[in-house]
Amino acid sequence: MPTPMSVEITRTEKINQLFQAHSLDTQGADRNFVNRFHTSLPKIQGLFQELYGVHEEAESQLIELLRSLILGYQAREESLRERDQEKAAEGNWFLSQNLAGMSLYVDRFAGSLKTMPSKLPHLQDLGVNFLHLMPLFESPQGESDGGYAVSNFRKVDPRFGTLEELIALRKTMHDQGMYLMLDIVLNHTSHLHDWAMKAKAGDQEYQNYYYTYENRWIPNEFEQAMPEIFPESAPGNFTWNEEMKRWVMTVFHNYQWDLNFSNPKVLQAMVETMLFYANLGVDLLRIDAPAFIWKQTGTSCQNLPQAHTLLRLIKQCVQVATPGMALLGEAIVAPKDIMNYFGTGDFVAQECDFAYNATQMALQWDMLASGDTHVMLQAQADILRKPYGTSWITYTRCHDDIGLGYEDASIAHTGKDPYLHRKFLKEYYSYSGDQWMSPARGALFSSNPKTGDARISGTLASLCGLEKALFEGNGAAIEQSIQKILLMQAHSIFLGGLPMLFYGDEVGYTNDYRYQQDPSKSYDNRWMHRPMLDWEKVNRRKTEGTVEFQLFEGTKKLLAIRKSHDLFADLSNVSWMTPHNRHIAGLIRRKGEERRYCLFNFSDQPAGLTWYAFREQGESATQLFDSWTQTSYTVGPDHEHLVLEPYGFRILEPR
Ligand code: GLC
């Protein structure tokens, strides 16, 4: 048995040998890398030890992981290294108010990677300079989960184009001051991935890349505490594979095999993949479903401490090899759990740089349906704990469903019954034909009869009433839905974080029901809100008076206002005003003496806010100028009000 001391020495020697074998110029050209390496090494060793200390190949696997970092660094092209340095000099580059994002499917938005550059002017005109391209890597047609079942992490799926075209697009984007975000689907692979194919063929080495079992003993043990993600289309968490004659863990769809990160080889392979993406020029890597990456019987297999250790380790690896790439953890979890993804203890702000503000996203839909801000305000105690130096993706919706996953307690505190309140929201947004008064047109997604849970599908426009209003040819309702859409956009754009629009929303795409005719999609109604753009419709945004024009110009103006002042950067400078009127959400953004009051009326009636609401903030200005309507208001006495029209909003600057 070697003593710990002798392990240390041999490890140091091994690292020196690694440096030599890869011809690192430790005093010269590679000095910065070597410094980063040595700065992070103790953390990498510690985190690795926590996860794999008892693994029989721990020592050699650690060295292999370190080798991957060297190789990832060496593969980085000079221009990207320079970009890394520029970002480091800027410090927290991703907190800037100058970034504004859009998430889109290359094929459904532009046709292909080749035609994508010709569509960039549309985005730039809107004010978008940060693109989340939905999964582009090879994924079997018909069993793709929108690209989230990857069969080859390094080959662009031919239906989008080629890897060369992706790199060319990135270069064009970078040259034009744009940023790129891609996904790494970390939790699982397609069952047609090479590793899964080898596992099916009986190769034990690769069976160990997944959770496979010859009988139901352990699967049954797991199932006792694991919830179901897609209870309608993919019930249960295990699938029998006839070729392998084994059960395999499939938390999402049965064609998505969960990777087993307790095997350090899986970690190494996936770190290499992440560095490969970094070297394609990715600025922000979206880590898909990180809440699920560690499994343990007797637990829900979500948000486990080891999942955080793994993410911290990944962060250190990226920080060493390709430091300009930031990380977004796509954890759609309860408010109290989400904060942990930014890191805790010694690792505060050293885990994921970004997370989705999914709680606030859902709460704005809560406010829109109920006209009441109180549940949203209850949840702020958790949300505002986000550490400095990290940021949110803020959004009204995305390619996924809207989950109502905030705490029951936030609802109960306001005097409402959590069960009945959620029932109301689900009924309000889903359309069952014989619907009551609700203007929304959406559908329930993943209803679970066992738990009563359900989430919501539908485009921003349809959920805001545009589909119904257009169908009925009701001019007043059309205007009101446009107002609601802009209210929702404004709320998420000024909230603090990087706003991520969803393509099509900028011109008011309503639900597309054609997915029902496609057997590869009909089981998943999220496709109703993933439009196929028709550029004739999109170009109507250039014709004054059209719905498309009003929405595009409105969204553009909102983004321009946000870019106009650095107090809209995510400086952890958000607070909420006292809810003098429960219909109005009042957000304050501050920097030094400067402030902006962002007010949102979620009611279908005019709502008044006492002028005292500003005085109580210590506001001494007598004029408040609204950048949205370009109107100046004189601050009146306490018993008078600033009146906001139904679904109206204001971005007020004290003058
Ligand atoms: C993420 C994706 C979602 C996908 C799931 C499984 O939540 O956003 O679209 O179905 O992961 O990969």
Tokens of 113: 């990677």
Residue to probe by mutation, ligand 1, list 105, 145, 255, 257, most atoms within 8 Å of CB:
145
* N residues, the chain: 655
Instruction: Tell me which residue has its CA closest to atom 3 in ligand 1.
Output: 400
Q: Which residues have CB under 8 Å from 53's CB, separation 6+?
A: none
Spatial distance between the Cα atoms of 126 and 563, rounded to a whole number of angstroms: 12
Give the residue-averaged pLDDT of 349-360: 98
Spatial distance between the Cα atoms of 115 and 418, rounded to a whole number of angstroms: 48
Catalytic residue flag (residue 138):
no
Q: Which amino acid is at 28?
A: G
Instruction: Tell me which residue has its CA closest to atom 2 in ligand 1.
Output: 288
| Residue indicated by tokens 């690192």 | 24
Q: What does the pLDDT look like over 484-530, one tens digit per residue?
A: 999 999 999 999 999 999 999 999 999 999 999 999 999 999 999 99
- Assign 10 a pLDDT band (cuts: 50, 70, 90): confident
- Assign 449 a pLDDT band (cuts: 50, 70, 90): confident
The ligand 1 atom nearest the CA atom of 185 = 12
- Taking CA atoms, 501 is separated from 88, 363, 531, in Å, by 27, 17, 14
Cβ–Cβ < 8 Å for 616, 578: yes
Q: Is 236 left (phi over 0), alpha (psi -120 to 50) or beta?
A: left
In which element (H, E) is residue 580 found?
none
Cβ–Cβ < 8 Å for 268, 165: no
User: In this model, does residue 336 exceed pLDDT 90?
Assistant: no
**Comparing 226-230, 344-348, 399-403, which segment has the lowest mean pLDDT?**
226-230
Q: Which DSSP string corresponds to 369-381? A: HHS--HHHHHTHH
The dihedral over CA atoms of 132, 136, 137, 140, expressed in degrees to the nearest 10, equals: 130
User: In this model, does residue 475 exceed pLDDT 80?
Assistant: yes
Q: Are strands 453-457 and 443-448 parallel, antiparallel or unpaired?
A: antiparallel
Q: What does the pLDDT look like over 23-61, one tens digit per residue?
A: 999 999 999 999 999 999 999 999 999 999 999 999 999
Name the residue with higher pLDDT: 279 or 454. Answer: 279
Catalytic residue flag (residue 330):
yes
Q: Is residue 402 classed as helix, strand or coil in its secondary structure?
A: strand
Specify the pLDDT at position 436.
65
- Taking CA atoms, 193 is separated from 108, 138, 280, in Å, by 25, 9, 21
Give the residue-averaged pLDDT of 367-381: 96
Tokens of 94: 């991703």
- Assign 6 a pLDDT band (cuts: 50, 70, 90): low
Specify the pLDDT at position 477.
97
How far away, in angstroms, is 30 Cα from ligand 1 center?
A: 38
Q: What does the pLDDT look like over 622-637, one tens digit per residue?
A: 999 999 999 999 999 9
Q: Which residues have CB under 8 Å from 619's CB, separation 6+?
A: 595, 635, 654
Sign of CA dihedral 191, 196, 201, 202: negative
Q: What does the pLDDT look like over 128-147, one tens digit per residue?
A: 999 999 999 999 999 999 99
Q: What does the pLDDT look like over 145-157, one tens digit per residue?
A: 999 999 999 999 9
Spatial distance between the Cα atoms of 362 and 286, rounded to a whole number of angstroms: 20
User: In this model, does residue 548 exceed pLDDT 60?
Assistant: yes
- Assign 8 a pLDDT band (cuts: 50, 70, 90): low
Buried b (16+ CB within 10 A) or exposed e, 512-530: beebeeeeebeebbbbbbb
Q: Per the residue annotation, which of 30, 183, 330, 506 is the catalytic one? A: 330
The ligand 1 atom nearest the CA atom of 146 = 9
Q: Which DSSP string corresponds to 541-570? A: GGSTTSHHHHHHHHHHHHHHHHHT-GGGS-
Backbone phi, then psi, for 359, in 5-degree steps? Answer: -65, -50
How far away, in angstroms, is 164 Cα from ligand 1 center?
A: 26
Specify the pLDDT at position 458.
98
Tokens of 510: 């309503």
Q: Are strands 354-356 and 391-394 parallel, antiparallel or unpaired?
A: parallel
- Assign 176 a pLDDT band (cuts: 50, 70, 90): very high
User: In this model, does residue 434 exceed pLDDT 60?
Assistant: no
Spatial distance between the Cα atoms of 646 and 643, rounded to a whole number of angstroms: 10
Spatial distance between the Cα atoms of 586 and 553, rounded to a whole number of angstroms: 24
- What value does the mean pLDDT of the chain take? 96
Backbone phi, then psi, for 442, in 5-degree steps? Answer: -135, -165
Give the DSSP letter of residue 394: E
The dihedral over CA atoms of 306, 311, 316, 320, expressed in degrees to the nearest 10, equals: 140
- Assign 5 a pLDDT band (cuts: 50, 70, 90): low
* Pocket residues: Cβ below 6 A from ligand 1: 145-146, 148, 185, 252, 288-289, 330, 399-400
The ligand 1 atom nearest the CA atom of 145 = 10
Instruction: Tell me which residue has its CA closest to atom 12 in ligand 1.
Output: 148
The ligand 1 atom nearest the CA atom of 526 = 9
How far away, in angstroms, is 334 Cα from ligand 1 center?
A: 17
Percent of the chain with pLDDT over 70: 98
pTM for the full model?
Answer: 0.96
Spatial distance between the Cα atoms of 157 and 154, rounded to a whole number of angstroms: 9
Q: Per the residue annotation, which of 30, 138, 272, 288 is the catalytic one? A: 288
How far away, in angstroms, is 149 Cα from ligand 1 center?
A: 9
Spatial distance between the Cα atoms of 308 and 305, rounded to a whole number of angstroms: 5
Cβ–Cβ < 8 Å for 530, 104: no
Residue to probe by mutation, ligand 1, list 229, 252, 529, most atoms within 8 Å of CB:
252
Specify the pLDDT at position 631.
98
Q: For the purposes of burial, counting CB atoms within 10 Å of the CB of 604, is it exposed (0-12), middle (13-18) or buried (19 or more)?
A: middle
In which element (H, E) is residue 426 found?
helix 418-429
How far away, in angstroms, is 147 Cα from ligand 1 center?
A: 9
How far away, in angstroms, is 310 Cα from ligand 1 center?
A: 19
How far away, in angstroms, is 6 Cα from ligand 1 center?
A: 45
Q: Is residue 537 classed as helix, strand or coil in its secondary structure?
A: helix
Cβ–Cβ < 8 Å for 498, 392: yes
